[in-house]
């Protein structure tokens, strides 16, 4: 188990001491906690953007309260419960896999960049594949949509911290099972998973941020903010099921809807379906 040392600083009324007896934190603990910290920090960065960025919004900001069918307070509560379930499941997952125990690492060498990149890509494909078919079935099965997936679509106008607002069972199936499969099947170590799950967390937030900021590297992927935002709209519920990285399953199985972006007269950006080639 790899550990990271942190200096402990003690404060008193008249002095400050630095305790060099390090507080050790394992890769597994970082992989469990850091994505949740990144979630709220990245959400806050978007929320801190001023009105000068409104020209990049896909919806007027007031529509978050006018069109959405769930309060922001309830969304925050749901997200915190989801993160608690993720933490508990991650602890169990690392205990079961034991991939980074001390004995296994005794004679091991650090993974090469090529190996880590291959594991990253494999995890992305696994997560996309799992979530595409589950997501599409959640829409096609009226019972599952009504009782589970419709909770997430109460956010007609998505925003950052609504990214993981789900009905609890759906949240477990989508995010927790999907993330666990991507970790196990990719063969990545706990240290690599720190970066992968932080990356996936930021991508998911970006998909729901409702802003097409120029220079955003996530928008190099065709599966971007506008792509997923359209799926949240009433006319987009039968298209663009792919998430969170690629669009190849939508293209292969006929659920891909190309989009065009136009400036809205009153400010911001308007998403419109483009002509499909099929």
Share of the chain above pLDDT 70, in %: 86
- Concatenating the DSSP letter of every residue in 189-221 gives -HHHHHHHHHHHHHHHHHHHS-B--TT-GGGGS
**pLDDT at residue 222, as a whole number:** 86
User: How does the average pLDDT of the chain come out, rounded?
Assistant: 88
C-alpha span between 92 and 221 (Å, rounded): 33
What percent of the chain has pLDDT above 90? 77
Cis bond leading into 244, ω under 30°? yes
What pLDDT is stored for residue 151 in this prediction?
96
HSE-CB for 15 with a 13 A CA cutoff: 3
Tell me the whole-structure pTM to 2 decimals. Answer: 0.88
- On the question of pLDDT at 235 being above 60, the answer is yes
Say whether pLDDT at 23 is over 90.
Answer: no
Q: What pLDDT is recorded for position 98?
A: 79
pLDDT tens for each residue of 100-122? 544 344 445 567 899 999 999 99
Mean pLDDT, residues 135-144: 96
- Residue 204's contacts (CB-CB under 8 Å, 6 or more residues apart) are 163, 164, 243, 244
Under the banding of pLDDT at 50, 70 and 90, the label for residue 244 is very high
Handedness of CA 65, 261, 231, 193 (dihedral sign): negative
CA distance 260 to 242: 18
């Amino acid at each position: 188990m790899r550990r990271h040392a942190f200096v402990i600083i003690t404060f008193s009324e008249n002095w400050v001491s630095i305790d060099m007896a390090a507080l050790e934190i394992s890769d597994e603990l970082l992989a469990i906690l850091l994505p949740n910290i990144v979630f709220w920090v990245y959400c806050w960065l978007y929320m801190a953007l001023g009105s000068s960025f409104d020209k990049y919004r896909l919806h007027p900001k007031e529509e978050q309260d006018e069109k959405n069918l769930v309060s922001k307070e309830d969304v925050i509560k749901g997200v915190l419960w989801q993160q608690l379930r993720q933490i508990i499941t991650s602890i169990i997952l690392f205990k079961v896999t034991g991939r980074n125990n001390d004995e296994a690492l005794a004679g091991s060498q650090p993974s090469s960049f090529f190996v880590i990149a291959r594991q990253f890509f494999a995890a992305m494909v696994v997560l996309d594949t799992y979530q595409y078919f589950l997501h599409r079935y959640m829409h096609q099965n009226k019972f599952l949509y009504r009782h589970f997936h419709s909770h997430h679509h109460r956010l007609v106008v998505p925003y950052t911290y609504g990214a993981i607002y789900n009905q609890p069972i759906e949240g477990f199936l989508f995010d927790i099972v999907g993330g666990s499969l991507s970790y196990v099947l990719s063969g990545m170590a706990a240290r690599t998973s720190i970066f992968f799950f932080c990356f996936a967390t930021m991508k998911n937030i970006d998909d729901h941020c409702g802003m097409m900021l120029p220079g955003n590297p996530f928008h190099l992927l065709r599966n971007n903010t506008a792509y997923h935002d359209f799926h949240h709209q009433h006319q987009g519920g039968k298209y663009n099921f792919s998430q969170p990285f690629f669009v190849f399953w939508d293209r292969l199985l006929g659920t891909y809807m190309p989009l065009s972006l136009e400036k809205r007269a009153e400010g911001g950006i308007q998403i419109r379906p483009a002509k499909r080639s099929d």
